[in-house]
Amino acid sequence: DTTLALMEENLKSANNDLKDFSKGRNVVEIEKRGETYQAQIQDLDLIKDGIDRKINYYNVLNNYLRNSNDYSKLPAPSVAGIDDPNIIKNVAQLIDLSVRRSEMTYSVKSALMYNNIDNEISAVKRVLLENIVAAKSAIQFEAAQVNRKIRASENKIESLPEDSQDYLRITRKFNLSNSVIDAYLQKRNEAQIVKAANLSDLEFIDPAKDIGGGLIGPRTGVNYVIAIFAGLLIPLLVVFLIFFINNSIQNAEDISALTNIPLIGVIGVKYTSSNLAVFEKPKSALSESFRALRSSLQFLYKKQKKEGSKTLMLTSSVSGEGKTFCSINIATVFAISEKKTVIVGLDLRKPKIFDDFNLKNKIGVVNYLIGQNSLDEIIQNTKIPYLDVITSGPIPPNPSELIMGETMREFMEELKSRYDYVILDTPPVGLVTDAVELAPFADVTLYIMRQNFTKKEMVQLINTRVQRDELSNVSIVLNGFENKARYGTGYGYGYGYGYGYGNYSNGYHEDDRPKNLFEKLKDKLFKRNK
């Protein structure tokens, strides 16, 4: 319709010009002079007009694709007389995908489906842009050839008299506008026929009426109540599920309910990077818990009327419960009290006690037991006064047999003659029997359990060992204790717990717990106000 209106204006203007030109002139004679060129240049003008319309369409289509997100209203290629199958196919496909995507907004909530159709649209769009570039290149070559022929015809017309040139210019404009109008009238008639045939399959019988019943749904009040109950019920179910699934030792009450073996100490959580917690932070609450454990051990030795050198064996159910950590720090508190103390690494299968003291494990207990080195050669001094370490040495093929030999008894007797306290770091009794073989050499055995790690069924293992007299003088130490567990808010039991009291310990203990973000901000504000 827009092109028709423009061409009709051009036709009217050309017709007026032709009337003005015909006044006082012999038009028939003038027309005969240029008759040879008129038909030729008219055909070329029609071809050029068709080419220009195609180029304009490609430019419009290119801009539309790059600047718009809704492709459902793309102009059809047939409007410009384009018959390129690639352009027609991809424009139709892009329109179809865009319509499908707009319809999805009413029924689809899945972001994945939107992403899939968006990816398809992007792929078709890229291909169509490439088609446009290729088609424009071909048609621009054709346009250059037509322009060359038009210029050749115009050069020939310039040889005619001036009045013939003016007449040809006016009739050329008139004929071109008339031909374009005919072509577009035909296209408009075709479009009107298609539009008339495309009837909607929907018919309004009776429009909806508001009868004043109000909102039927959604029932927001009920939805809010359901949401509140669901928000409370689901977390409760998760908490109960965790509570029943969790079969780990949580606190002292769990241990008391499962065994009659006394619990003589509770050790808190370690915040230092190494295992030398007592040596690095002697004033911390963790250090105080080890000192409380030392007092409990001395009470046990006194109860046994044990004089002279004393031995202590540490074991556990499985690896990872903090047995080596406790061995090092119990030995440290004895050494700090100026008692000659030695830690013996008797975990011959998995030696690791040497790392924390930056010592070598080239020679140790194994070398002594096989007669390769003397006791003086395997003893290694540490940076802690009064504390020595004997590492396990190279891993032997027969650790249990080495421990059971007579050389082990001689080894222990010689250590007891030199040291006030001999600390034996042994393998987990739940995995191997080495600790059972070493039990006769120990005056007291400490069984290490760890909060949220040691399984409750493991307690039955130590009960069985004690009932069979495989282990004697056994006491339990709960390691890695945090007050977040059930009932555990810092009990101060008088028989060796010594860890807790919360804020009441201010001024007595050095705080070794790392500060959280809130505490760091509070310290900065406090310093700034100072």
- Tokens 């056994």, residue? 474
Q: Tokens 């299968």 identify what position?
A: 349
Integer Cα distance of 301 and 311 in angstroms: 10
Domains in the chain (CATH in brackets) are: 2-194 (no CATH), 252-514 (3.40.50.300)
pLDDT in 10s for each residue of the chain, 530 residues: 777 777 777 777 777 776 766 666 656 656 665 566 666 677 777 778 778 878 888 888 888 888 877 777 777 777 677 777 888 888 888 888 888 877 777 666 677 777 888 888 888 888 888 888 888 888 888 888 877 877 777 676 666 666 666 667 777 677 777 777 777 777 777 777 767 766 666 777 887 777 776 677 677 888 888 899 899 999 888 888 877 777 888 888 888 889 999 999 898 888 777 888 888 888 888 889 999 999 999 999 988 888 889 999 999 988 888 899 999 999 999 999 999 999 999 888 888 888 888 888 889 999 998 889 999 999 999 999 999 999 998 988 888 888 888 888 999 999 999 999 999 999 888 888 888 888 889 999 999 999 888 888 888 888 988 888 888 889 999 998 887 544 333 333 333 344 444 444 444 445 555 555 666 565 666 555 44
Collapsing DSSP to helix, strand or coil, 500 comes out as: coil
Determine the pLDDT at residue 422.
94
For residue 284, what are the contacts with CB-CB under 8 A and spacing of at least 6?
A: 277, 509, 510, 511, 512
Tokens of 475: 């006491």
State the number of CA atoms in the 13 A half-sphere of 44 facing the CB: 18
The two structure tokens encoding residue 367: 């070398």
Residues 6+ apart with CB under 8 A from 377: 363, 367
Task: Give the CA distances from residue 239 to residues 40, 228, 232, in Å, rounded to whole numbers and listed in that order.
Answer: 92, 17, 11
For the chain, count helices (H), then strands (E).
18, 8
Query: Phi and psi for 497 in degrees, rounded to 5?
Result: -70, -60
Separation CA 323–CA 326 (nearest Å): 5
Q: What is the pLDDT of residue 507?
A: 44
Q: In DSSP terms, which residues pair with 449 in a beta bridge?
A: 478
Cβ(297)–Cβ(312) below 8 Å: yes
The answer to whether the beta carbons of residues 277 and 356 sit under 8 Å apart is no
Q: Which pTM was predicted?
A: 0.52
End-to-end, the C-alpha distance of the chain in Å comes to: 82
Q: What is the CA radius of gyration of the chain?
A: 49
Backbone angles phi, psi at 432, to 5 degrees: -135, 170
Give the chain's largest Cα–Cα span: 150
pLDDT score at 423: 93
